[in-house]
């Protein structure tokens, strides 16, 4: 059994978990696979943005680290994942929607929350169809906070214009550069994106990596 070195000191990323998970679900869940899937889904959805947050079965199959925690055998892990999902749906923790398209059937999972129930009603009414456009993959190997979270935690509120600017920055500069430039802005108490962008542009002109 591998050992855990402990939670690190300083500021760490937190995940919001509904209190009812502990007061209502935890006493009832008696299957380890269901518990793992439930916690993992909550974590995944927390990393996403937008009003309607969801996961496809194929999205979950892409996280090899999570699957390895279910079973060392890939086929068995996939089956345990499917079983955990079905148990969560049967319990009412998750909502499931199956959509038929020209490319085949796709299964979507939502948290059984007000937003999740609204999304399911919209699908059933034909008012909305989930899309994978512009969705970033989520996996346990992605420990670095995304650029939106970094900005909101250190600089200020996120606006649509700033969000678009940040997406462009991600395409231009490395994550390490962006994180360090934000840290410098915070240390100098200049919490403005233009200041951060000036730092990044300067590093690019100086060919910092070289």
pLDDT at 102: 65
Which residue ranges make up each domain of the chain?
A: 20-124, 147-205
What's residue 198's pLDDT? 94
CATH architecture for residues 20-124 = Orthogonal Bundle (1.10)
* Partners of residue 96 on adjacent β-strands: 109
- pTM equals 0.61
Rounded to whole angstroms, the Cα distance separating 136 from 166 reads 14
Q: What is the predicted pLDDT for the residue at 133?
A: 47
User: Which strands make up the sheet holding 94-101, listed edge to edge?
Assistant: 55-56, 104-111, 94-101
- Name which of 143, 142, 169 is nearest 155 in CA terms: 169
pLDDT at position 38 is 96
Strand 94-101 to strand 55-56: parallel, antiparallel, or no bridges (unpaired)? Answer: unpaired
The tokens describing 190, both together, are 């200049």
Domain at 147-205: CATH code = 1.10.10
In the prediction, which pLDDT does 58 show? 85
Give the number of other CB atoms < 10 A from CB of residue 151. 23
- Low-confidence residues in the chain, pLDDT < 50: 133-144
Give the residue carrying structure tokens 């100098």.
Answer: 188
Structure tokens at 52: 């309607």
Instruction: With CA atoms as reference, report the closest residue to 38 among 81, 98, 75.
Output: 81
Residue pair 119/112 in contact by the 8 Å Cβ criterion: no
| pLDDT at residue number 135 | 46
pLDDT at 85: 95
Q: Which of 77, 47, 51 is nearest to 64 (CA)?
A: 77
Same fold? 20-124, 147-205: yes
Q: What pLDDT does 150 receive?
A: 84
At residue 145, the pLDDT reads 52
């Amino acid at each position: 059994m591998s050992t855990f070195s402990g939670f690190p000191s300083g500021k760490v990323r937190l995940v919001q978990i509904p209190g009812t998970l502990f007061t209502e679900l935890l006493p009832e869940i008696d299957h380890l696979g269901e518990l793992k899937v439930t916690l993992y889904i909550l974590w995944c959805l927390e990393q996403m943005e937008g009003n309607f947050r969801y996961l496809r079965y194929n999205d979950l199959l892409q996280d090899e680290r999570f699957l390895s925690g279910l079973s060392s055998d890939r086929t068995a892990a996939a089956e345990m994942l499917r079983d955990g999902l079905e148990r969560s749906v049967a319990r009412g923790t998750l909502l499931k929607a199956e959509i038929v398209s020209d490319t085949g059937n796709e299964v979507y999972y939502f948290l059984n929350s007000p937003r999740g129930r609204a999304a399911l009603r919209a699908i059933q009414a034909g008012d909305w169809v989930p899309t994978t456009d512009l969705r970033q993959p989520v996996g346990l190997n992605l420990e670095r906070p995304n650029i939106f979270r970094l900005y909101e935690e250190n600089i200020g509120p996120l606006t649509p214009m700033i969000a678009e600017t940040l997406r462009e920055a991600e395409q231009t500069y490395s994550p390490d550069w962006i994180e360090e430039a934000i840290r410098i802005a915070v240390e100098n108490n200049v919490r403005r994106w233009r200041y951060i962008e000036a730092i990044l542009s300067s590093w690019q002109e100086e060919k910092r990596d070289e």
